[in-house]
């Protein structure tokens, strides 16, 4: 019943949508078979343009199912869409955009046989569109691919931006707040009256010595352990346990390191709160990361270099000294320096182990530059900032922010030394 209604509802119209001509170029046919035959160039067609030719200006053919009164197929919904690529050499595929037919007669032949199989049932106001697929134009699938590619790129860019903006916002805000306090005197003068007046020389020099001491202890141990683990250690249970320990140690919170330092160095080893205990604690904290980054830098040197040396009778140490270390030193130093920056900024590990709340150094002479012994307590920038903020009521805001700016400037300048070093050593990379 429904089928009968459909066939009676009107006629089939072939449109050759030629641009630049006045009005649509079309003809009516009583059945779809005749319409398709006309498309194939077999039946009669009274248009200006032979419909079997798809050209640049005439790049689609439409077979529409319309009522007798209608002549405009533009309101019709495309039910089937087929593609023709006249550049194809073969006999073509299934008429999809990905695998088009080579010419319109072939398309008509396939459409007729599909209609014969009952696969094409045009309801009124539906149409079949045969489009010319141009060479080197994107298919729908490719357009979709490009769209999702653009979206992915955009999302990742936004994430990057959301990372960069806070960095500049923080730096800018710190600078603005600290501006009234910033001066050469602020950096070079001792703090006075619990830090509410004067400068920050004592904590600055304290931080310097803390970092220097912890670096002197952590860097050689960490680098050598990394070399051992990567170059000498065989893959057995003992070394797997060491690896596991290193990885886990890297994840220990700094306040736990602080408690460990208090127990082990300050109390058990009898060092008391001192520069030595604090820098030992800092070096224990930075060791695992130095070991890991050293191993990564060493692993980046191709194994074939080592094997070539061993084949010539070089010992492992000769190989490490002459080939492996010279080609991984940039990565190793980068890792070490980044840990220096981290140590400079940490507060927790030094609170219990050696940081003094207020301990100015001498105002001039040797005591100004070398104020500390291993046994003395020290001031430190991070601790000083904490003190000004939380422990003292009337510390000027600008001085708090000034301390933060100097601390962050210290960290950033250490980082940029590391970047510069890496760029320099990379430029000398030899493979």
175 binds another protein, rule: CB under 8 A: no
Instruction: Please identify, among the stretches 42-50, 214-222, 291-299, 302-310, the one whose residues bind another protein according to the rule CB under 8 A.
Output: 302-310
Tell me how far apart the alpha carbons of residues 429 and 424 are, in angstroms, rounded to a whole number.
9
Q: Which is nearer to another protein, 214 or 330 (CB)?
A: 330
Q: Which one of 327, 376, 382, 418 is in contact with another protein (CB under 8 A)? A: 327
Tell me the helix, strand and coil percentages in the chain, rounded to 5. Answer: 60, 10, 30
Q: Phi first, then psi: what are they for 85, rounded to 5°? A: -125, 110
230 binds another protein, rule: CB under 8 A: no
Instruction: Please identify, among the stretches 65-73, 103-111, 196-204, 320-328, the one whose residues bind another protein according to the rule CB under 8 A.
Output: 320-328
Residues contacting residue 173 through CB under 8 Å, at least 6 positions apart: none
363 binds another protein, rule: CB under 8 A: no
Residue 336 Cβ vs another protein, minimum distance, rounded to whole Å: 22
Residue 308 Cβ vs another protein, minimum distance, rounded to whole Å: 5
161 binds another protein, rule: CB under 8 A: no
312 binds another protein, rule: CB under 8 A: yes
Instruction: Please identify, among the stretches 81-89, 207-215, 250-258, 301-309, the one whose residues bind another protein according to the rule CB under 8 A.
Output: 301-309
Using the 8-state DSSP alphabet, how is residue 355 labeled? B
Instruction: Please identify, among the stretches 128-136, 242-250, 299-307, 394-402, the one whose residues bind another protein according to the rule CB under 8 A.
Output: 299-307
281 binds another protein, rule: CB under 8 A: no
Which DSSP helix (H) or strand (E) runs through 293?
helix 275-299
Tell me how far apart the alpha carbons of residues 349 and 364 are, in angstroms, rounded to a whole number.
30
Instruction: Please identify, among the stretches 289-297, 304-312, 364-372, 411-419, the one whose residues bind another protein according to the rule CB under 8 A.
Output: 304-312
Instruction: Please identify, among the stretches 33-41, 207-215, 319-327, 396-404, the one whose residues bind another protein according to the rule CB under 8 A.
Output: 319-327
Instruction: Please identify, among the stretches 16-24, 42-50, 77-85, 307-315, the one whose residues bind another protein according to the rule CB under 8 A.
Output: 307-315
Q: Phi first, then psi: what are they for 360, rounded to 5°? A: -65, 155
Using the 8-state DSSP alphabet, how is residue 352 labeled? T
Among residue numbers 336 through 355, which ones bind another protein (CB under 8 A)?
A: none
Q: Which is nearer to another protein, 251 or 313 (CB)?
A: 313
Tell me how far apart the alpha carbons of residues 126 and 32 are, in angstroms, rounded to a whole number.
12
Residue 321 Cβ vs another protein, minimum distance, rounded to whole Å: 10
Q: Which is nearer to another protein, 50 or 322 (CB)?
A: 322
Question: How many Cβ atoms are within 10 Å of 6's Cβ, its own excluded?
Answer: 15
Contact 93, 101 (CB under 8 A): yes
Beta strands in 31-120 (DSSP E): 60-66, 77-84
Distance of CA 323 to the CA centre of its chain: 32
Q: Which of 395, 393, 403 has the alpha carbon at shortest distance from 192?
A: 395
Which DSSP helix (H) or strand (E) runs through 198?
strand 197-198
Residues contacting residue 235 through CB under 8 Å, at least 6 positions apart: none
Q: Which of 60, 23, 61, 12 has the alpha carbon at shortest distance from 39?
A: 61
Could you give the angle at the alpha carbon of 295 between the alpha carbons of 289 and 298, nearest 5°?
Answer: 140
32 binds another protein, rule: CB under 8 A: no
Residue 233 Cβ vs another protein, minimum distance, rounded to whole Å: 11
427 binds another protein, rule: CB under 8 A: no
329, burial (CB in 10 Å: exposed 0-12, middle 13-18, buried 19+): middle
Q: Which one of 307, 374, 391, 426 is in contact with another protein (CB under 8 A)? A: 307
Residue 304 Cβ vs another protein, minimum distance, rounded to whole Å: 5
163 binds another protein, rule: CB under 8 A: no
Q: Which one of 46, 69, 234, 373 is in contact with another protein (CB under 8 A)? A: 234
Q: Which is nearer to another protein, 320 or 383 (CB)?
A: 320
Three-state secondary structure call for residue 131: strand
Residues contacting residue 394 through CB under 8 Å, at least 6 positions apart: 196
Q: Which is nearer to another protein, 113 or 318 (CB)?
A: 318
Q: Which is nearer to another protein, 30 or 302 (CB)?
A: 302
Three-state secondary structure call for residue 16: strand
Q: Which residues bind another protein (CB under 8 A)?
A: 234-235, 304-305, 307-315, 318, 322-323, 326-327, 429-431
């Amino acid at each position: 019943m429904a089928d009968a209604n459909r066939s009676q509802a009107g006629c089939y119209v072939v449109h050759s949508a030629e641009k630049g001509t006045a009005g649509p170029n079309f003809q009516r046919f009583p059945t779809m078979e005749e319409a398709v035959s006309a498309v194939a160039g077999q039946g009669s067609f009274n248009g200006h343009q032979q419909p079997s030719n798809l050209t640049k200006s005439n790049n689609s053919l439409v077979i529409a199912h319309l009522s007798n009164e209608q002549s405009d197929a533009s309101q019709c919904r495309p039910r089937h869409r087929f593609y023709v690529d006249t550049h194809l050499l073969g006999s073509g595929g299934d008429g999809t955009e990905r695998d088009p037919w080579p010419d319109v007669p072939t398309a008509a032949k396939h459409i007729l046989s599909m209609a014969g199989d009952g696969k094409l049932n045009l309801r009124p106001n539906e149409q079949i569109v045969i489009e010319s697929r141009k060479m080197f134009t994107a298919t729908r699938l490719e357009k979709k691919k490009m769209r999702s590619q653009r979206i992915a790129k955009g999302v990742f860019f936004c994430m990057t931006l959301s990372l960069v903006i806070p960095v500049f916002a923080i730096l800018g805000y710190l600078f603005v707040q600290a501006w009234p306090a910033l001066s050469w005197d602020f950096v070079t003068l001792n703090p006075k009256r619990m830090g509410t007046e004067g400068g920050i020389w004592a904590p600055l020099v304290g931080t310097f010595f803390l970092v220097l001491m912890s670096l002197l202890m952590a860097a050689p141990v960490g680098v050598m352990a990394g070399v051992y683990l990567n170059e000498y250690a065989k893959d057995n249970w003992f070394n797997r346990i060491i690896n596991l320990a290193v990885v886990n140690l890297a994840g220990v919170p700094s306040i736990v390191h602080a408690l460990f330092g208090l127990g082990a160095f300050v109390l058990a080893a009898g060092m008391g709160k001192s520069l030595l205990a604090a820098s030992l604690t800092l070096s224990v904290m930075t060791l695992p990361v130095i070991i890991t980054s050293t191993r990564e830098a060493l692993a980046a040197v191709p194994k074939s270099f080592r094997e070539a040396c061993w084949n010539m009778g070089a010992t492992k140490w000769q190989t490490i000294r002459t080939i492996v270390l010279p080609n991984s030193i940039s990565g190793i130093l980068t890792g070490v320096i980044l840990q220096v920056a981290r140590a400079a900024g940490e507060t927790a590990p030094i609170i219990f182990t050696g940081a003094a709340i207020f301990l100015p150094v001498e105002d001039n002479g040797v005591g100004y530059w070398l104020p500390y012994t291993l046994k003395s307590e020290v001031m430190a920038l991070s601790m000083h900032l904490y003190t000004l903020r939380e422990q003292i009521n009337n510390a000027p805001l600008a001085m708090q922010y000034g301390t933060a700016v100097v601390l962050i400037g210290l960290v950033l300048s250490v980082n940029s030394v590391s970047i510069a070093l890496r760029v320099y050593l990379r430029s000398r990379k030899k493979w």
